[in-house]
Amino acid sequence: MTFDDNAIDWLASLLAEAADTEIMPRFRRLGDGDIRQKTSAADLVTEADVNAERLITARLRQHYPGAMVVGEEACSDDPALLDGLGEADLAFVIDPVDGTFNFASGVPLFGVMLGVVVKGETVAGIIHDPVGKDWLIGAKGAGSHIRHAHGSLEKVRVAASAPISQMTGAVSWQYMAEPDRTRLACNQTKTLSQFNYRCAAHEYRLLASGHGHFVVYNKLMPWDHLAGVLIHAEAGGHAARFDGTAYLPSHVGGGLLVAPDRESWQELRRELWAG
């Protein structure tokens, strides 16, 4: 199935609706019973996550009957919902609140992410910023743009290549096993500076718009990366798993290195894992 501008517009509006009705009214207003731990004190779910995902899922099923809908919170309860994502004729992958730790802490760095997958290929990605009220949108073969709240479109482009000493980036070494954990944490000092937003939505936005160079992720869940990787690629960037193979919707392991281009990717892969 091919997605046209009208489909992208509808999906973008859907994410904004969820943000306006289920997420922002709860921001900095969560009660003690509105936040729960999933796997750790750093892995949280709130009533905003749950209710936003329910709204988006219900609308998608009404609009696209028969499509596969994969939401982070639903999969947390039933991991088997991921089965078949790589083969589905049409699938939507939802992260209702990416950056839940920030949201629950009252920090305004979170986003709503949606990836569209057709027969194993990501064809569109949308990242909505509920605070800034804009969207970062990418479509296969059509480039990536920021759609501002006032309606204008701004084309985005990844940063130009640079020596590793002049790169800025993020390394999620906390999800690595030793010895890579220590190796990557130490080798990141070869770069100019680091950022860590605890929010893939904003980290992908930073890279796709040319304000940062790279990210290294070890934890690969589709709702965290499908939209961002597609948007980054359409902005001219290069991403691959640690072994150099392409990242696909069916992958939940193998790590991910995102860089401005293939040559930068190769330099980062060599230097960050050195030693």
pLDDT in tens, 225-241: 999 999 999 999 999 99
Q: Answer yes or no: are the C-beta atoms of 141 and 148 closer than 8 Å.
A: no
Least confident segment among 34-48, 97-111, 223-237: 34-48
Q: Is the dihedral of CA 62, 64, 68, 72 positive or negative?
A: negative
Q: Which residue reads 């000493």 in tokens?
A: 165
**Per residue in 19-41, pLDDT tens?**
999 999 999 999 888 888 877 76
Q: Answer yes or no: are the C-beta atoms of 146 and 242 closer than 8 Å.
A: no
**Per residue in 192-213, pLDDT tens?**
999 999 999 999 999 999 999 9
pLDDT surpasses 60 at 215 = yes
Query: Over pLDDT 70: what percentage of the chain?
Result: 97
pLDDT at 6: 78
Q: Which residue reads 């839940």 in tokens?
A: 100
**Per residue in 235-260, pLDDT tens?**
999 999 999 999 999 999 999 999 99
pLDDT surpasses 50 at 1 = no
pLDDT at 4: 63
pLDDT surpasses 60 at 2 = no
Is the pTM above the cut of 0.85?
yes
Q: Answer yes or no: are the C-beta atoms of 36 and 44 closer than 8 Å.
A: yes
Q: Residue 214 — φ and ψ, nearest 5°? A: -150, 160
Q: Residue 114 — φ and ψ, nearest 5°? A: -145, 130
Q: Answer yes or no: are the C-beta atoms of 28 and 106 closer than 8 Å.
A: yes
